Amino acid sequence: MGQVLHSSATTTEAVRRAIQNSQASIRTLARRYGINPKTVAKWKKRGHTQDAPMGPKQKHSTVLSVEEEALIVAFRKHTLLPLDDCLYTLQETIPHLTRSALHRCLQRHGISRLPQVSDPASKKKRFKKYPIGYFHIDIAEVRTEEGKLYLFVAIDRTSKFAFAELHQRATRPIAVEFLRHLIAAVPYKIHTILTDNGIQFANRKKDLYAFKLLFDRICAQHSIEHRLTKPNHPWTNGQVERMNRTLKDATVHRYYYDTHQQLRDHLATFLMAYNFAKRLKTLNGLTPYEYICQQWHSQPERFIHDPSHLTLGLYT
């Protein structure tokens, strides 16, 4: 096997071994092998013939302090978030943190790779790309001390803008009211809505001669295509199902609420933080609001009004 020497080496392992085993003087050996006497003295003192590792003895960052590295390591181990999510969150505390500096820090501490929790053989399928205005809608149940509530949730497939309301009943009129509020809240045109086959959104198969639902009539009035998922295929509406879980994990799965109003207030606060402050990897590090503003400049024809009017002010 060949020797691996650094680019500036003037001796081989055989020469180094001969120097260590020789009884001749340093000057004689330097003249014999045509090298500097300091090199001879160096190899005389060493008990091996391999090159010593170059660089600092203890690896450390030239950008991050010891305290900042400790914060990063603790945050990664506690949250197990991906690299980009860690970056977006930690930059609020460490403004000068870059993606490369974060990656090197995680590598130094041996936590650059997250543990494998899913089946590596399973392949993730990407959603088909659509322009902004494709909303997934679903209903979930939540509870407070006062009883049960129905959580109506809508999320844009492209901009990830989320809208949700809590109601005490899940009827067709409530679904229509939610749709009207959604259309009023979104600053751009909604072109498609995807729901399941629940009675709030669709007629039953046996209702062959039933009137067209008011939900569908409002969709037609605003030139919105209403699509339905395949029966017994809830994963078709997977984006809003995932948003349901996110909202529950941030509220009822973590906190106890004495009243419905407490949950409503917390839900509104979370949605505001999500839409205006949550930086998402799927949006290349932008928040849903920042992405909507970006689309306003590139595709203004899709908008009803300027989304900058949604900017949070002093009295919001």
Average pLDDT, the chain: 86
pLDDT number for residue 125: 63
CA 51, distance to chain mean position in Å, is 43
- Rounded to whole angstroms, the Cα distance separating 157 from 192 reads 10
Q: Cβ–Cβ contacts within 10 Å for residue 26, how many?
A: 15
pLDDT number for residue 3: 65
pLDDT number for residue 165: 96
Query: Each residue of 89-122: pLDDT tens digit?
Result: 888 889 999 999 999 999 988 898 887 755 555 5
Q: Are the C-beta atoms of 213 and 172 separated by less than 8 Å? A: yes
CA 36, distance to chain mean position in Å, is 57
Q: What share of the chain is helix, strand, coil (3-state, %, to 5)?
A: 45, 10, 45
Q: Dihedrals φ, ψ of 194, to 5°?
A: -115, 125
Query: Each residue of 265-280: pLDDT tens digit?
Result: 999 999 999 999 888 8
pLDDT number for residue 55: 66
Q: Cβ–Cβ contacts within 10 Å for residue 123, how many?
A: 6
pLDDT number for residue 47: 83
Mapped onto helix, strand or coil, the DSSP state of residue 153 is: strand
Q: Does position 56 have pLDDT exceeding 80, yes or no? A: no
CA angle, residues 277, 300, 158, in degrees to nearest 5: 50
> How does DSSP assign 202-246, residue by residue?
S--TT-TTPPPPHHHHHHHHTT-EEEEPPTT-GGGGHHHHHHHHH
pLDDT number for residue 117: 57
Beta-strand pair 162-167/147-156: antiparallel
List the single range of 109-123, 201-215, 228-242 with lowest mean pLDDT. Answer: 109-123
Structure tokens at 131: 């322009």
pLDDT band at 49 (very low <50, low <70, confident <90, very high): confident
pLDDT number for residue 124: 59
Query: Each residue of 68-78: pLDDT tens digit?
Result: 999 999 999 88
pLDDT number for residue 153: 95
Mapped onto helix, strand or coil, the DSSP state of residue 52 is: coil
Mapped onto helix, strand or coil, the DSSP state of residue 135 is: strand
List the single range of 2-6, 88-92, 95-99, 250-254 with lowest mean pLDDT. Answer: 2-6
Q: Does position 37 have pLDDT exceeding 80, yes or no? A: yes
Q: Are the C-beta atoms of 129 and 116 separated by less than 8 Å? A: no
pLDDT band at 1 (very low <50, low <70, confident <90, very high): very low
Q: Are the C-beta atoms of 139 and 170 separated by less than 8 Å? A: yes
pLDDT number for residue 118: 53
Q: Give every strand in the sheet of 192-195, ordered side by side.
A: 162-167, 147-156, 134-144, 192-195, 225-228
Q: Does position 245 have pLDDT exceeding 70, yes or no? A: yes
pLDDT band at 289 (very low <50, low <70, confident <90, very high): very high
